Structure 1
Amino acid sequence: MNIHITEQAARKLADRLDEDKHLKLYYDTEGCGCGVDGIPVLWITDQMSPDDIEIETNAMPVVVEKSQMMFYADQLTIDASGSNYYRLSSPGEILNGRMNIINHS
């Protein structure tokens, strides 16, 4: 998996991350019906689970749960979308055009 973070998104994300925090791309299925229906969100967390994999990007590491990697394309881009949102896209589609960032501890 290759994740590219645009310059604008990297600046906004860096302002939100402390030294001991991780940026996690999480596939949230809560309230979506079943385990394969969900929506990607960004978490800022200080905890990592045994299933987490750290993906090196052009700007900062992004944590992804190994079991959730099947929901994403091999090439992803995280971009800023407005003042408070981010957009996750692949070459073929927009996976979430108004992705929130959630403090999750």
Structure 2
Amino acid sequence: MILEWSETALEELAARYGQDARTWKLVSDSEGCGCAMNGVAALWLIEEPDTGDLQAGSNGVEVWYEKRHEVFFDERMRVSYDPSKRAFKLASDGQIYSNRLRLEDRRNKEE
């Protein structure tokens, strides 16, 4: 799996989450959806990947994913940012996963 980030998207990541926001996890998040097959694409900012997570090819930041979520995504995708909508977009040549990709900071805030 490969995620290509636009320069604008990388700049917005740093602006929102800081320069140390370097490790992300791509998920098909089904929390609250009622069905594991109806997940919504999301990116979680994490401290470190879980055991067994796979690393995607990515420019600018590390992106990890669970093998079981691989079926929900294309082999090559792009993350862009639209300043007029203040929204990230996840797309591939075949589809748009989200025009308003949810990013969630899941790092442990305890010192």
Question: Is the shorter-chain TM-score for this pair beyond 0.5, marking a shared fold?
Answer: yes
C-alpha distance in structure 2 between counterparts of 1:39 and 1:2, whole Å:
19
Q: Identity of aligned pairs, percent?
A: 26
Residue ranges of structure 1 left out of the alignment (5+ in a row)? none
Match of 2:6 in 1: 6
**TM-score normalised by the chain length of structure 1:** 0.86
**TM-score normalised by the chain length of structure 2:** 0.82
Q: Which moved more, 1:56-65 or 1:92-101?
A: 56-65
Between structures 1 and 2, the one with greater strand share: 1
After the TM superposition, which parts of structure 1 deviate over 2 Å for at least 4 consecutive aligned residues?
17-21, 81-85
Distance 1:6 1:21, change over 3 A: closer
Greater Rg by CA: 2
**RMSD value over aligned CA atoms?**
1.9
Contact 2:44 2:104 in 1 (8 A): yes
C-alpha distance in structure 2 between counterparts of 1:81 and 1:93, whole Å:
17
C-alpha distance in structure 2 between counterparts of 1:84 and 1:62, whole Å:
21
